[in-house]
Amino acid sequence: MSFREESDDSKDLKKPFLHTGSWYRMGSRQSSMMGSSQVIRESSISVVACVLIVALGPIQFGFTSGYSSPTQTAITAELGLTVSEYSLFGSLSNVGAMVGAIASGQIAEYIGRKGSLMIAAIPNIIGWLAISFAKVPVYIAEIAPQNLRGGLGSVNQLSVTIGIMLAYLLGLFVNWRVLAVLGILPCLILIPGLFFIPESPRWLAKMGMTEEFEASLQVLRGFDTDISIEVNEVKRSVASTGRRATVRFGDLKHRRYWFPLMVGIGLLILQQLSGVNGVLFYSSTIFNSAGITSSNVATFGLGLVQVIATGVATWLVDKTGRRILLIVSSTGMSVSLLVVAVSFFIKDSISNDSTLYSILSIIAVVGVVGMVIAFSLGMGPIPWLIMSEILPVNIKSLAGSTATLANWLFAWIVTLTANIMLNWSSGGTFTIYMVMCIVAVAFVSLYVPETKGRTLEEIQWSFR
């Protein structure tokens, strides 16, 4: 059955939640547009503009992730929480992300990528929970041209780090209640912005909406660009997988399904087992343990370093490739965590007043900063990017939700236990994280394919 024939029987399918038949469909057929539409029509910045709008979601999530660090002292004092109780509080955002991950795949499948982002934004404004922005990297991967997909896909993690840094910065000046209110601002901007960007062309093609699919792709590539080759590639991919094909558990025995799913889940689990969320959520506590008096200021500095390093990764990923950055990143994290672990082990056995103690405190902080830099260069942005690239289109929603659920499950475990483990033994905690990073080096070396310079259709065909 041809793509066109498939589209003829698609009337029973739901239209996108945010209807795409608006300004950009008109723009592809008319010689002039008014206002901002004219600017987009005459330029090649459409994809970047779309990415910047949806990036507000990860910024908000990053703000949530960074909230726990600058507020721990004030919240525990004002509400009388123990370390265990605050650890439970700090891990709740990950529980919310798990709830969102369960539903996000099917939501994105039936109402579109934009619609799922809208649905995800509303609970944030109400209460910060029941949210997973897992479809942001999927949307970016599906709209980005091949030569920019790595860099634009990494914007998701860059936005998260910006959100974390903003939480650290604002936490220096406002109390924890005001900081919580400020967390809703990115989503308040995101919701109206979603009405001005096109739906994912690949999702529209899968739904049989041929006219909308071609119009969306045209505006994303520029109205003077010949999109015929890409249109045919997407049509062939959709026709080969079958828009309504249902993947059963028995089908997972085929390599084209189990291998990319295994790679995606493995990377996202190892990303969390590296302990990065424990470091970021409770960085003030770690700096206090290292003997740093202005721990909140040091935490903001850490957030700033993370933003810069992630920005470098965003620039590098389409030049060096995904796989090499993952190996360099996980190796760098292993070395940094070893330095931190040894520093804390020695500090525990010497006097607090000694010169060596002060030196080791500085070394521990340098190790933590090195760990965050190494994470930001690869293990932070790239697992989400690779997951959005390698999952076959007909299992992307279900498999993506499964991988995301696994990621946030382990994120919850790490954030729940990090504070308690740090009280038990800082050196022992960082040793455990180091071992997980070594496992990540081996996993990437053995199983993760290079996706740089390949279309999404080429990547998926390679698993057959």
Cβ(286)–Cβ(296) below 8 Å: no
Helices (H) and strands (E) in the chain, counts: 24, 0
The pLDDT of residue 351 is 81
Quote the pLDDT of residue 202: 80
Which comes out higher in pLDDT, residue 269 or 292?
Answer: 269
For residues 127 and 459, the model is more confident at 459
Nearest one of 152, 385, 387 to 263, comparing CA atoms: 387
- How far apart are the C-alpha atoms of 169 and 79, rounded to whole Å? 23
Query: Which residues lie below 8 Å from residue 263, measured CB to CB, with a gap of 6+?
Result: 386, 390, 447, 448, 449
Q: Which two tokens stand for residue 385?
A: 């990017």
pLDDT at 34 over 60: no
Dig out the tokens for 36 from the structure: 């901002």
Q: How confident is the model at residue 308 (pLDDT cuts 50, 70, 90)?
A: very high
Which pTM value belongs to this model? 0.68
Please give the average per-residue pLDDT across 239-258, as a whole number: 66
Mean pLDDT along residues 234-249: 65
- Cα gap 51→227, rounded to integer Å: 20
Q: 312 or 255: whose pLDDT is higher?
A: 312
- The C-alpha atoms of residue 234 and residue 90 are separated, in whole angstroms, by 42
Q: DSSP H helical segments within 80-112, as ranges?
A: 83-111
Angstrom distance (rounded) from CA 331 to CA 371? 10
Dist CA 10 CA 360 (whole Å): 65
Instruction: Note the pLDDT tens digit of each residue in 446-457.
Output: 999 888 888 777
8 A C-beta contact, residue 425 and residue 289: no
DSSP one-letter string for 151-165:
HHHHHHHHHHHHHHH
- 202-208: average pLDDT: 80
Per-residue pLDDT at 441: 96
pLDDT at 227 over 90: no
- Maximum distance among all Cα pairs of the chain, rounded to whole angstroms: 79
Structure tokens at 367: 């190790």
DSSP structural state of residue 146: G
**Residues in Cβ contact with 302 at an 8 Å cutoff, skipping those fewer than 6 apart:** 168, 280, 283, 368, 369, 372
pLDDT of residue 437: 95
Amino acid identity, position 373:
I
Of 32-41, 80-89, 432-441, the poorest mean pLDDT is in 32-41
Instruction: State how far the alpha carbon of 442 is from the alpha carbons of 64, 369, 447, 448, in Å.
Output: 32, 23, 9, 10
Q: Which two tokens stand for residue 416?
A: 């729940």
The pLDDT of residue 116 is above 50: yes
Structure tokens at 234: 């997407």
Q: What Rg, from alpha-carbon coordinates, does the chain have?
A: 23
The DSSP-derived string for 272-313 is HHTTHHHHHHTHHHHHHHTT-SSHHHHHHHHHHHHHHHHHHH
Amino acid in position 353: D
User: Exposed, middle or buried: residue 218 (CB in 10 Å: 0-12, 13-18, 19+)?
Assistant: buried
Confidence bin at 327 (pLDDT 50/70/90): very high
DSSP 183-240: TTHHHHHHHHHGGGSPPPHHHHHHTT-HHHHHHHHHHHH-TTS--HHHHHHHHHHHHH
Q: Is the pLDDT of residue 29 over 60?
A: no
**Identity of the highest mean pLDDT range in 315-319, 338-342, 394-398, 410-414:** 338-342
298: pLDDT strictly greater than 50? yes
Q: Which pLDDT tens digit goes with each residue over 375-433?
A: 999 998 899 888 888 887 677 767 777 887 888 788 888 888 887 888 888 899 999 99
Q: How far apart are CA 230 and CA 418, in angstroms?
A: 47
Q: What was the pLDDT predicted at 64?
A: 67
What's residue 86's pLDDT?
60
Query: What is the C-alpha to C-alpha distance for residues 63 and 225, in angstroms, rounded to an integer?
Result: 38
| Three-point CA angle 51, 54, 59, nearest 5° | 110
Q: What is the mean pLDDT of residues 425-444?
A: 94
